[in-house]
Structure 1
Amino acid sequence: MEKLRVLFVCTHNAARSQMAEGLLRALAGDRYEVYSAGTDPRGVHPLAVRVMQELGIDLSTHCSKSVETYRTIPMDYVVTVCDHAREHCPYVPARRKNLHQSFPDPSAVGGDEEVRLEAFRRVRDQIRSWLEKTFL
């Protein structure tokens, strides 16, 4: 059976879309080919890598990519995970459905490292919950 292709898009492809990619691949990689990209890619956030490692998911080899990288690859689902990306992303058609689910930007949270880590964990867990309801 052919896997369905899913593309997650956020502004910088640094945290939310990267975590969504890693989570869906870990949860259902046997059913989905999973990608992520940004409208203005800037590098994977180290705290995203860290909180995903807590679940045994390695993002350390991931890199930020532009949404333009996937313009010619047919996607079954294209999911914007932040409002800015939804408003500024060039339209990438999905064969099945374009979805939007906005999650807070954990990299915008200030404070000491533990406060920031907790913000990343909270968003990671919100993404996981949404993925389980939507794709599993």
Structure 2
Amino acid sequence: MSDNRILNVLFLCSANSARSIMAECILNRVGNGHFRAYSAGVTPADAVHPEALKLLAGLGYDVSGLRAKSWAEFTGPDAPKFDFVFTVCDDAAQEECPVFPGEPWQRMSAHWGIPDPESVHGDAKDVAFAFADAYKLLNRRISIFAALPLRSLDRLALQQHLDTIGQSVHDEAHPAA
């Protein structure tokens, strides 16, 4: 990663209706023009979850162009070439995480599992809290990622950092009881 080009990052999840959408928005904001983030799902929802839109809009994000997208949009010859692909599905809940097709040796990838806020059923406060918690976890991980000295790390060191971000931040945010 020695050039100064903008790095393309894809966040993948099952439905692309909450976590991956939030991740896309966060990185496009905190990436300071060094990254271009995208998001997609294996089986995209019909729409972005209303609570995700409400949270993002309340935090000053432009949500007007957000939509749930299939990863098929990012596999054709005209699709961006991704430098990083992150899955954000929750393997702890036996949620099946997608594996992005293509040449994995041409990009870095990591799994940054985030509990699915859409799985929370309860009153409006419980649901809002679940979405806010997912946003906080994503924001912390992505902020750490965006601050890495990417251009000075070799591939192995970078992969270790990516894996550590996905594990350690989750442990800090959700300590064992």
TM-score normalised by the chain length of structure 1: 0.91
Separation in 1, partners of 2:128, 2:102? 32
Match of 2:65 in 1: 61
Separation in 2, partners of 1:89, 1:11? 11
Residue 91 (structure 1) aligned with residue 94 (structure 2): no
After TM superposition, give the deviation of residue 63 of structure 1 in Å: 0.8
Percent of paired sites with the same residue:
33
CA contact (8 A) 1:37 1:66 kept: yes
Pick the aligned partner of 1:126 from 114, 131, 137. Answer: 137
- In the TM superposition, what whole-angstrom CA distance separates every residue of 1:29-81 from its partner, at most 9, and x where no partner exists? 51111100001101200100111122111224211111111113310001110
Gaps of 5+ in 2: 148-177
Separation in 1, partners of 2:30, 2:96? 24
Gaps of 5+ in 1: none
Return the index of the structure with the highest Cα Rg: 2
RMSD over aligned Cα, in angstroms? 1.6
Separation in 2, partners of 1:5, 1:65? 16
Residue 75 (structure 1) aligned with residue 78 (structure 2): no
Separation in 1, partners of 2:145, 2:32? 15
After TM superposition, give the deviation of residue 135 of structure 1 in Å: 2.2
* Matching residue's letter, 1:53: A
Deviating beyond 2 angstroms after TM superposition, the runs of 4 or more aligned structure 1 residues are 58-61, 83-86, 88-96
CA contact (8 A) 2:30 2:146 kept: no
* Matching residue's letter, 1:62: L
* Mapping 1:1-136, distance limit 5 Å: 1-42=4-45, 43-72=47-76, 73=79, 74-82=81-89, 83=91, 84-86=95-97, 88-94=98-104, 95-136=106-147
Separation in 1, partners of 2:68, 2:122? 25
Change (3 A) 1:49 1:93: farther
Q: Which has the higher contact order (CA 8 A, sep 6+)?
A: 1
* Matching residue's letter, 1:115: D
Q: How many residues align?
A: 135
